Structures are given as C-alpha cells and as structure tokens.
Amino acid sequence: MTTEFFSKFNNLPDDIIDIVYSKIVYPQPKNLLDEIIRYGKNREYIYYLKKIDDDILYQCLYDLCVVYLLLKENKTPYSCDPEQLSHNSLIELDDIIFSVYNNDMGLYNIYNAHEIIYYIIMRLDDYYIEKIVQPVVASIINEEIDILGYTTYEGV
C-alpha cells in the first residue's frame, strides 16, 4: 500500500511535490539551540584558555570541577573549596582530575583538560564562568595588548 502511494506521489508534477515538501517542518531540539547560543557566548573564553600555562589551566579546571560538582549536588558554591563536597563528589573530582593525566607516563594531557573545561563551561551559569575563567582570560588579553597592541581573538 505504501509503495502505491509513493509511486503515485512521485508521478505528481514537480511544483506540487515542492509545495508538499515545503510544508514539512522538522522541529529542532531545544537543547541544540541552547548549546549553540551558549557556545557563542563562551567561545572567547575557550579560545583564550588554549593559550594559558599548564599550571593555570590545571587550577582553572580544578575550580570549575568543584563548582560544577557542588551545583550537581544542589549546593550553592561559596568558594572553590573542595571541603564543601560530599564523599561521592570528592571521588568524582579525583576521577576527573586523574583523567587529565596520561596513565602510561603520568604526563599532563592538555587536550583532555580542554575537553573537560569545555564540557563544564557549556553547563555552568555565566556567573561562575565569569568568576573563575574571566580573570585568567583577562590576564592573557592584557599580555596580548601589551606585547602585540591588539587581541588575536577574531570573534564577533
């Protein structure tokens, strides 16, 4: 039965087929649109985080993880102190931090750190990102302005 329908549908004139196809609307997932908007807001942070020193990146990752885990526990983070975390969240924090290191040689894997930071930035409120990431990014921007006279970020 469906093959009969499609064979008759395909035999219709092209202008009628175009009208039918123009009426078909696929709903876009809401979370995809939210993620695109959030990425647009945070892409400058992501750009400059790729330029910071490994030690500063590690500290930024640690602070973001603590705040993220506190929010995941439905606690209000007052600082980046891991003492506020529950036992299970402390274990999760250790797992996240140790996943940044290469298990074979114990070397710091910057790619993993950036991936985790990107994941967390895309899920945190702008308030926490501005408190943790903004000072780090501001120092890189100030260095660029001092050295080059302009910033290298070419976003909107």
Q: Which two tokens stand for residue 23?
A: 């009426």
Query: Is 109 part of any domain?
Result: yes
| Residue 16 in domain | no
* 65 neighbors 120 (Cβ within 8 angstroms): yes
pTM for the structure as a whole? 0.73
Instruction: Find out whether 47 and 155 touch, Cβ atoms under 8 Å.
Output: yes
Chain-centroid distance of CA 73 in Å reads 20
Question: 87 lies in a domain?
Answer: yes
The pLDDT tens digits along the chain (156 residues) read: 566 666 776 777 888 878 877 887 777 777 888 888 888 888 888 889 888 888 898 899 999 999 999 999 999 888 888 888 889 989 998 888 888 886 666 677 888 888 999 999 988 988 999 899 999 999 888 988 898 888 888 765
Query: Is 14 a member of any domain?
Result: no
Total domains in the fold of the chain: 1
Per DSSP, the three-state class of 59 is helix
Is residue 35, in this structure, part of any structural domain at all? yes
The answer as to whether 7 is a domain residue is: no
Look at residue 53 and tell me if it is in a domain.
Answer: yes
Closest by Cα among 132, 154, 145, 13 to 68: 132
**Chain centroid to CA 68:** 12
3-state helix, strand, coil in the chain (%, to 5): 70, 0, 30
Q: Would 82 be classed as within a structural domain?
A: yes
Could you tell me the residue range of the domain that residue 58 belongs to? 29-148
